[in-house]
Structure 1
């Protein structure tokens, strides 16, 4: 039996909403505060108050800090973590989150991660949100985390860097590889810290895994909106005792024999960007021995309409076949590790408690190898070493 937390991000996500949801679901605030004292920081007070958003009750978590305007570099935050009494796994995960945030900001501003002045991210409340969320999951005994697709708002937001489009550049960069969905809200509904936390802890983003729900928590955002400004977490136990996980997927198939083959690559990229689980093409012979291509798209059930729209818009297909399938897969999780060369996402799969495979994200490794002029193989090896160290801790 596995203790599971599923974050339903129907109204977005932020660090304070994650902690608010966990507290609303039963995380003891006093126990959390005692664990956070291991940071040896001081100068802050934790607040958790019941409130409502669109008449739905939730918990609003906030931090009152004396140094709200302190600007910290990455090395300052890493020093705080290194000198803390936190467990090694919490230290490593926290550093990986802040390292990824620094890498993203550095890419956007065309500088090195060490040059980044953290403003909102380096403030006391963001450090508490990040470390506190990791501690909260541990204190609640959560063994596996999942999350829904992430909605993104539109419009513009004012920040220390000026007027930025939404999603903010840092948030959008962090959303690479995560299924997203458009929201009607013209507000900032996802924050870099919130995305970075979920990206570090969630095994996957999409449909909720099968479980017996035990408790539900709602973390309230700072303002009222047209929809309930809440992050919902469902906590429960999976009743599976086998070594694999199960879910439902849809396989879309269509035969195509009259399309420019160059269009298949673009269509495949677009489907994957919008959340397809896999896209593949198979050479086939059709009526009258005409050569053609079987386009196969594996998706989550909740993305069917969007995937069909893309297929009909981008290909010459006049119809598709829809197959609903039960899928069995080895448990896997996506970890973000801090390597010698930068942050890399790594997929780890298991058979029981034994690690079956460690697979660094190719695009992350390729970008590091290309920008730093080092062999791709070295980046892969360093990422695998970092994961093994993290899992042993």
Structure 2
């Protein structure tokens, strides 16, 4: 569905087919066609290949990728990243290693074509940023090589760790290991449709039919309305009136060590004029659940407010400056007028001063 949506959004199908042909897979044919799904026009993809029974390891996949004389370095790296994400998940689920685990459905020829085609397609699309809405998994049970299991399948669930999910009440497998790997590997951030000027829309058709909704994957391509120097963060807040200052300090330290971008507290007055502290945590959206768990555990709070905020950020990078006293570590950032500003790290200065 992703591959079909990319072509429907304007990616050249001939270049994708040429890349697939360069893999040297005998008897493989990739075709794209127009179709109707739930009353909507979309693109469908069909992969024809000989019957096969082989299970492949990651090393076998790498050998297939290396046979190509057409894949660009980026297309090769994207393909390898997608397969590696699936291999890592399968190894974790089956108690094996990345090198030893063998692919089941994903090692099949049609899945290899699908994954490499997606890597070529996103490279040809040439976008700076990929944003995804929360991911629907569906529910129910499916039959895989290891027997019957609950949706999402174990490998899919492992790949989707840290990714926001959507509750779509359809009894079917809506996200496969391949789809999960595409999301986990390529997506920069998760949100609903951002403020943007839409240039192209691609619809990729799935094979199943659902009675109440079209089985389509939709891709929007366009320009963000906001500056590229912005991102989204999650703000967690809780009011505390029944713990000691030492616990607040310890919790702050633990949150920072766990990956919070910032943690701060402010004195507040709660109902009945009780003095209290509001503890606030800024973090990446994917880290919100994990940091909430720390707040619940360490403070025993009964509720945490969650806000999604957009922030403007300066482009910056680590930098060091040599002085007569020694090297000072810090950050180099750019102002709106593209002037470089160096901000030294206090700890580095303190070390030299000592």
Same fold (TM over 0.5): yes
What SS class does the counterpart of residue 277 from structure 2 fall into? strand
TM-score norm. by structure 1 comes to 0.65
Across the aligned residues of Structure 1 and Structure 2, the Cα RMSD in angstroms comes to 3.7
| Aligned residue number for residue 359 of structure 1 | none
Matches for 1:269-348 after TM superposition, within 5 Å: 280=263, 282=265, 284=267, 286=269, 290-296=275-281, 315-317=301-303, 326-329=310-313
Matches for 1:352-363 after TM superposition, within 5 Å: none
Q: Paired residue for 1:183, among 147, 165, 168?
A: 168
**1:233 matches 2:203:** no
Distance 1:192 1:351, change over 3 A: farther
Instruction: Quote how far apart the aligned CAs of 1:252 are.
Output: 5.9
What SS class does the counterpart of residue 188 from structure 2 fall into? strand
Instruction: Quote how far apart the aligned CAs of 1:246 are.
Output: 5.5
**1:77 matches 2:61:** yes
Distance 1:164 1:279, change over 3 A: farther
Give the number of equivalent residue pairs. 297
Kindly name which structure, 1 or 2, has the bigger radius of gyration based on alpha carbons.
2
Distance 1:186 1:324, change over 3 A: closer
Higher RCO by CA contacts (8 Å cutoff, separation 6 or greater): 1
Distance 1:69 1:206, change over 3 A: farther
CA deviations on 1:178-232 (whole Å, 9 max, x unpaired) are 1112221121100111111222221112233432111101111110013221110
Distance 1:179 1:324, change over 3 A: closer
What SS class does the counterpart of residue 113 from structure 1 fall into? coil
TM-score norm. by structure 2 comes to 0.72
Matches for 1:160-179 after TM superposition, within 5 Å: 160-179=145-164
- Does the CA-based 8 Å contact 2:85-2:185 persist in structure 1? no
Distance 1:71 1:299, change over 3 A: closer
What SS class does the counterpart of residue 105 from structure 2 fall into? coil
CA distance in structure 2 between the aligned counterparts of 1:60 and 1:258, rounded to whole angstroms: 59
What SS class does the counterpart of residue 26 from structure 1 fall into? coil
| Aligned residue number for residue 127 of structure 2 | 142
Matches for 1:1-393 after TM superposition, within 5 Å: 17-85=1-69, 86-225=71-210, 226-238=212-224, 244-245=229-230, 251=235, 253-258=237-242, 280=263, 282=265, 284=267, 286=269, 290-296=275-281, 315-317=301-303, 326-329=310-313
Flag structure 1 segments of 5+ consecutive residues without an equivalent.
Answer: 1-16, 333-349, 353-393
- Does the CA-based 8 Å contact 1:256-1:316 persist in structure 2? no
CA distance in structure 2 between the aligned counterparts of 1:176 and 1:291, rounded to whole angstroms: 35
